[in-house]
Amino acid sequence: MSKKKIVFQGEPGANSHLAITEAYSGAEAIPCATFEDCFAAVRNGRAELAMIPIENSIAGRVADIHHLMPTSKLHIVDEHFMPVHHQLLALKGANVKTLKTVESHVHALGQCRNIIRKLGIKAIVAADTAGSAREVAEAGDKTRASLATKLAAKIYGLRVLAQNVEDEKHNTTRFIVLSRTAKWAKPKPRQKVVTTFVFQVRNIPAALYKALGGFATNGINMTKLESYMIGGSFSATQFYADVEGHPKERGLELALQELDFVCQPKTLKILGVYPAHPFRKKF
Q: Which of 175, 197, 215, 239 is catalytic?
A: 175
User: Which residues are within 8 A (CB) of 137 and not within 5 positions of it... i.e. 6 or more apart?
Assistant: 91, 156, 157, 158
| Full domain range(s) for residue 97 | 87-162
Q: Measure the CA–CA gap between 240 and 204, rounded to whole angstroms.
A: 19
Q: How many domains does the chain have?
A: 3
Single-letter residue type at 105:
H
Q: Do 175 and 43 fall within a single domain?
A: yes
Q: Which of 173, 195, 199, 239 is catalytic?
A: 173
| 283 included as an active-site residue | no
Predicted confidence pLDDT, tens digits, the chain (283 residues): 578 999 999 999 999 999 999 999 999 999 999 999 999 999 999 999 999 999 999 988 887 888 888 889 999 999 999 999 999 999 999 999 999 999 999 999 999 999 999 999 999 999 999 999 999 999 999 999 999 999 999 999 999 999 999 999 899 999 999 999 999 998 777 789 999 999 998 878 888 999 999 999 999 999 999 988 777 666 668 899 999 999 999 999 999 999 999 999 999 999 999 999 999 986 5
Single-letter residue type at 248:
K
| 175 included as an active-site residue | yes
pTM, 2 dp: 0.93
Per-residue exposure over 6-15, b if at least 16 CB sit within 10 Å of its own CB, e if not: bbbbbbbbbb
Q: Do 96 and 109 fall within a single domain?
A: yes
Single-letter residue type at 77:
V
Torsion of the alpha carbons at 63, 7, 73 and 43, rounded to the nearest 10: 150
Residue 117: CATH number of its domain: 3.40.190.10
| Nearest-5° Cα angle at 268, 265 to 273 | 160
- The pairs formed by 69-72 with CB atoms below 8 angstroms and a separation of 24 or more are 69/198, 69/240, 69/271, 70/198, 70/238, 70/269, 70/271, 72/39, 72/43, 72/178
258 domain residue, yes or no? yes
